[in-house]
Structures are given as structure tokens and as C-alpha cells.
Structure 1
Amino acid sequence: MPTRRRGEELEATILEAAWAEILENGYNRLTVEGVAARAKTGKQVLYRRWPNRSELAVAAIRHALGPLVGVAPDTGSLREDYLAVMRQMTARAQHYTPELLHGLLAEMPAWGGEFFSTTPGFVTEILRNAAARGEISHAGLPERVANLPLVLLRYEGLRGVGQWSTLGEVDLEKFFAEILDEVFLPLVMALAGPSPRPRPGP
């Protein structure tokens, strides 16, 4: 007789089944019943954890792909740190089909939209590192400014769903540079310019 699965083991099995259903059948055909059947469990087990299929899908994506940024990059440069994050975002976005994104956007009221929010922890750490190096005078930038490169990148991805899989590396790097060099960094320097150098002694 098979051992009854519980807790994290059962949850992992369900989320892996949900991700497999999304990959094989698409988000539009994703059903709690189908995931339950694949995971060999009852659908009420799923409903106790995820009230609707959109929350289940978001949990499955996070389980399959992991966090956007596990550890904040520390390259020694504010620009390069943000660039590293943007590259990770683009690589991750290649796993999202237009159908999946459109389906989640259509059902956003059901799950609150936190899937598209940035992760303030690693952004804050990047800014603190830059302040400690003297690149900026302080790390207390407004949240909208701190998250601006990631929000613009996400917007462009949603506006042209699927484009990340067709753009070459050179075009992507050019696009990243435009966001950082023409929009973000000038704004950061205007709000929290580089720390003043120590005045020379008498």
C-alpha cells in the first residue's frame, strides 16, 4: 500500500503536476480536476491550498522556476547589478507563453497581481551596496524609482508578449542599455548623486 503523502511532499507533487499541465495543455485548459488527477489526489486537497486555478498556476510557476533573484548581484557597479537582474528576468520570461500571460492577466483580480510585482528585498540590497561604494549618496530612493528598470522591462514584455524569444543578444543588450542609461541612471543621479569625495586636508 503506497505511503500517504503529506505536507511539503504533497504540495510539491501537486505543483509539479500543475506545471506539467500548463506546459502540455496550456493555461486556458488548466483545471483543478486535471491537476488533481495527474497528482493522484482529490481536488479538495488543492482547493484548501489554492482557492482558484490562477493562484495554483502562480504557485506552480514559482515552484518550477524558482525566485526571480535568489541572491542580489554585487558586481561592484550599480549599472551592472541592475543589468544582471534584467538578464535574469528576460531568461525567465522565455518560459511564459503569450497564452499563459494573457490568461493570468485576465484573471488578475482573483489573485491580486503579486506575480508581476518586483521583489523589494534584492532591489534594496543593490541600492545599499551602491551607496556603500559611494556611487550614490544614499539608498533611500522612492520605490517607483528603485523598481523602474524592472517595471519598464516587464511592461515591454507584456506589450510584446513573446518578443524575448525572438530578439538576439545584441538587441536585448541594446534595449537594456537604453532603459538604464537613458532613463534610470540619470534619474538616480538627479535624486541621489554620487557621494561627495572627502575634502583634502589642509
Structure 2
Amino acid sequence: MNTRRRGTELEDAILQAAWNELMNVGYQNLTMEEVAIKAKTSKPVIYRRWDSREELVLAAIGKNIPKPADDIPNTGNIRNDVIIVLERLNDLISTIGPETIHGLMSVLAGIPFSELLHLRRTNTMQTILKRAAERGEIKVEKVTDRITKLPVDLIRHELLTTYEPVTEKTIVEIVDDIFLPLIQ
């Protein structure tokens, strides 16, 4: 009887081994060889599915992190909505680990931050801003694509410069002192 794993079962074992290694030894120390040993497979089997360590790590992150909340915050107040989004992002960063995100961003410079973190929904801020405009909280003519991306860009900047998840105080400062004054 052949007990060799194939397909989804094998991929799941590899991705779980990669995730476990990522959590145990960190991004910088994760090796394909050790993942293969932990998954009870071989490096060539892994490389047939993922061309690089970074691709494997991204796949492991996508498989193991909590999926983004389906609900876009709608508290009736733009400030609260944006703070909720940034807190969720910060929780995600904490789960993955700032060192891992920093390492991936340095190697995969062409991949947008939102894709790196598997934040597939790109319309969250647009939806929040649209709702705020309908409530008369913001001046639509002040909203640009760059301003829409600014809160997440500032979180990314904090992460890259401090290697730490962003504090709640910093999230509030980003929203109150930088973002909202630009659009109100």
C-alpha cells in the first residue's frame, strides 16, 4: 500500500511545516531544507510548487493567518472606522511578525504591502471614505488616491522603521493628526 502524500494533503503538510518554522525560528532562519524535513518530503518536491523561500512563506502566511474580516467597519464615524481598520492591520502584523514582513518586503519590493499581507480587499478605505462623504464628514474634493492609501502607508513605515507592531497611540495619531486633517 502506497502511503505517499500527494496534492492538497502534501501541500497542506508543507505549508504547515513552513508556518511552524516561521513561527519558531523566524523568517531569517527559515530554510527550505528544514521545512522539507518537518513536512517529511524533499526540497525538490517543495521547489516544484514554490520557486523560492519567499513564495513558500507567502503561501504559508496566506494559509495560516486569520482571513481579513468580511465586514467593513461602519460605526457612523470615519475616525472610528479607520481606527478599526488600522487595528486589524496591526493585529495581522503582530501575528505574522514584523521581522517576517520586513524580510519579505526587502526581497519582494515589487509586491504591494496589501498583497504581501493577503489583504485582498482593496476597496475598504474607498468604502469608508464614500460613507463618510455621504454623511458629510469629509470634503470629497480633498480625497486623492495617495491620501486614501496614507493610513496604511504610515503603518507600513512605522513597521519598517521600528520592527515592532504599531502602538494604539500611534494609530490614533495617524488618524487624528495626519489623516483626518487632510480630508476634513
With the length of structure 1 as denominator, give the TM-score of the two structures: 0.74
Contact persistence 2:98–2:159 (CA under 8 A):
no
1:6 paired with 2:28, answer no
Q: Residue type of the partner of 1:32?
A: M
Residue 156 of structure 2 aligns with which residue? 154
Structure 1 window deviating more from structure 2 (137-146 vs 57-66): it is 137-146
The CA RMSD over aligned residues, in Å, is: 2.8
Counterparts of 1:26-175 in structure 2, within 5 Å, are 26-97=26-97, 99-109=99-109, 112=111, 114-115=115-116, 119-136=121-138, 138=140, 141-162=143-164, 164=166, 172-175=167-170
Name the larger-Rg structure: 1
Name the CA distance, whole Å, in 1 between partners of 2:149 and 2:136.
Answer: 20
Name the CA distance, whole Å, in 1 between partners of 2:61 and 2:83.
Answer: 23
Residue 196 of structure 1 aligns with which residue? none
Deviations 1:5-43 (A, max 9, x none): 323x43332211101011222222212222222222333
Name the CA distance, whole Å, in 1 between partners of 2:134 and 2:161.
Answer: 36
Contact persistence 1:124–1:139 (CA under 8 A):
no
Unaligned runs of at least 5 residues, structure 1: 165-171, 190-202
Aligned residue pairs total: 180
Cα 1:75–1:96, aligned 2, differ >3 Å: closer, same or farther? same
Name the CA distance, whole Å, in 1 between partners of 2:141 and 2:131.
Answer: 8
> Deviation at 1:97?
4.2
1:185 paired with 2:152, answer no
Cα 1:4–1:59, aligned 2, differ >3 Å: closer, same or farther? closer
Cα 1:36–1:27, aligned 2, differ >3 Å: closer, same or farther? same
Name the CA distance, whole Å, in 2 between partners of 1:149 and 1:100.
Answer: 21
Name the CA distance, whole Å, in 2 between partners of 1:130 and 1:94.
Answer: 29
Name the CA distance, whole Å, in 2 between partners of 1:19 and 1:117.
Answer: 15
Residue 20 of structure 2 aligns with which residue? 20
Unaligned runs of at least 5 residues, structure 2: none
Name the CA distance, whole Å, in 2 between partners of 1:43 and 1:130.
Answer: 51
> Deviation at 1:3?
6.5
Name the CA distance, whole Å, in 1 between partners of 2:163 and 2:125.
Answer: 25
> Deviation at 1:159?
0.7
Name the CA distance, whole Å, in 2 between partners of 1:69 and 1:160.
Answer: 26
Aligned to 1:4, the other structure's residue is in SS state coil
> Deviation at 1:146?
0.7
Contact persistence 2:86–2:152 (CA under 8 A):
yes
> Deviation at 1:73?
1.5
With the length of structure 2 as denominator, give the TM-score of the two structures: 0.80
Percentage identity across paired residues of the two chains: 39
